[in-house]
Structure 1
Amino acid sequence: MANASQLFDLSGKTALVTGSSQGIGLALAKGLADAGAAVIVNGRDAGKVEVAAKELKGAKVYRLAFDVADYAAAKAAVDGFEASQGPIDILVNNAGIQIRGPLDEFATEDFERILRTNISSVFNVGQAVARHMIKRQAGKIINIASVNSMLARPTIAPYTATKGAVANLTKGMATDWAKHGLNVNAIAPGYFATPLNKALIDNPEFNTWVEKRTPAGRWGELHELAGACVFLASAASSFVNGHVLYVDGGMTASV
């Protein structure tokens, strides 16, 4: 049996984190790198990917710019990396967007865009990576869900729908792929200070609501997501499958 430090050691592993040029994705990439993993930084914008890669000082870093919402592009990128660089041992499906608006006025094109980015991408990249992991009979997939997988607020119904789908797709992936040696789980962050949430942070009324609604009494800090990600990416979670881990300061535990 490995000791505690060995259980969480990711040395020799390579992790692809989608949408890791900023925000939660970059924080998770840093956490995985700190645990010893080589990291593949991803985003649509190659320039932003390069800037983010430079922040991972001391780590082995790859750059892989592609659009996760494009099935063919995702498959080509994953297959190309596997052929030229080696196995992707860990996948973090983090890429996502938020588009707010009253549901009765929500534009069809925005609805389709949020579906492609938040849920189709999890299938696109997840399937491409899993096909290689299945051959090796090993692999870790971590999908990024949300407190909105369980809860809703006005003006974010489409986002809530996608994050509920991420949570259930995680369970489906685990059900299909656990027999092949894969662990598929999800992290569901609460309210964290990220570029995606800038409009909310800058809104005094909403900021006060978050602080009062969260038992911990504050917004989460990005580094507080790293431990959950390392756990689910490591040998420490070898019998954890299909689980959605809420990292939300207690928000979903209270009324």
Structure 2
Amino acid sequence: MEGRGYDIYSTSKRALAQWIRRTAPTAEWAGHGIPLNAIAPAVVLTPMTAELVKTPEGREQLNRQVPMPLNGPLEPVVAARLLAWLTSEENSHLCGQVVFVDGGYDAVSRGDSTW
């Protein structure tokens, strides 16, 4: 059973990303001018992660597991600002995307594999 939680977590993220890409360009969403997108934050500084970042050793371990070279873990307001723009009238063309707000973690972990 060990590792099962990660499998479920990653599978659900993949399913959501696929749903976004398939659904966003449809007449029901894009056809009505609704930009459907998602964000994929890495480590967000919340009560859930407080224990992880409390000590230098914890931060070092977290950085090994989830390297975020641009400014490390993010404050919730960073994700909130992105969500605010994605749902605003200013977003006239971003459609069907999962935007990684992760301090570079996706670039470090997947490199060129997305192309």
Q: In the TM superposition, what whole-angstrom CA distance separates every residue of 1:46-78 from its partner, at most 9, and x where no partner exists?
A: xxxxxxxxxxxxxxxxxxxxxxxxxxxxxxxxx
SS of 2:103's equivalent in the other structure is coil
Instruction: Provide the residue aligned with 1:241 in structure 2.
Output: 95
In structure 2, runs of 5+ residues without a counterpart are 110-115
Instruction: Provide the residue aligned with 1:33 in structure 2.
Output: none
Question: Where in structure 2 are the equivalents of 1:118-137 lying within 5 Å?
Answer: none
Q: 1:214 pairs with 46, 68, 78, which one?
A: 68
Equivalent residue pairs, number? 105
- Answer yes or no: is the 8 Å Cα contact 2:20–2:96 preserved in 1: yes
- Answer yes or no: is the 8 Å Cα contact 1:167–1:244 preserved in 2: yes
Give the structure, 1 or 2, with the largest relative contact order (CA under 8 Å, sep 6 or more): 2
Give the letter aligned to residue 76 of structure 2. Answer: L
SS of 1:246's equivalent in the other structure is strand
1:159 aligns with 2:59: no
User: Structure 1 residue runs of 4+, over 4 Å off?
Assistant: 202-206
| CA distance 1:206–1:157, change in 2 (3 Å) | farther
Instruction: Provide the residue aligned with 2:2 in structure 1.
Output: 102
SS of 1:245's equivalent in the other structure is strand
Q: 1:192 pairs with 37, 44, 47, which one?
A: 44
Instruction: Provide the residue aligned with 2:22 in structure 1.
Output: 172
Partners of 1:165 and 1:240 in 2: CA distance? 20
Instruction: Provide the residue aligned with 1:254 in structure 2.
Output: 108
- Answer yes or no: is the 8 Å Cα contact 1:210–1:218 preserved in 2: no
Q: In the TM superposition, what whole-angstrom CA distance separates every residue of 1:121-151 from its partner, at most 9, and x where no partner exists?
A: xxxxxxxxxxxxxxxxxxxxxxxxxxxxxxx
Instruction: Provide the residue aligned with 2:86 in structure 1.
Output: 232
Q: Provide TM-score, normalisation by structure 2.
A: 0.75
Partners of 1:195 and 1:239 in 2: CA distance? 34
- Answer yes or no: is the 8 Å Cα contact 2:52–2:62 preserved in 1: no
Tell me which structure has the larger Cα radius of gyration: 1
Partners of 2:22 and 2:95 in 1: CA distance? 10
How far off is 1:195 after superposition? 2.9
How far off is 1:190 after superposition? 1.2
Partners of 1:197 and 1:160 in 2: CA distance? 18
- Answer yes or no: is the 8 Å Cα contact 1:211–1:217 preserved in 2: no
Instruction: Provide the residue aligned with 1:4 in structure 2.
Output: none
Q: Provide TM-score, normalisation by structure 1.
A: 0.37
How far off is 1:192 after superposition? 0.8
| CA distance 1:203–1:161, change in 2 (3 Å) | farther
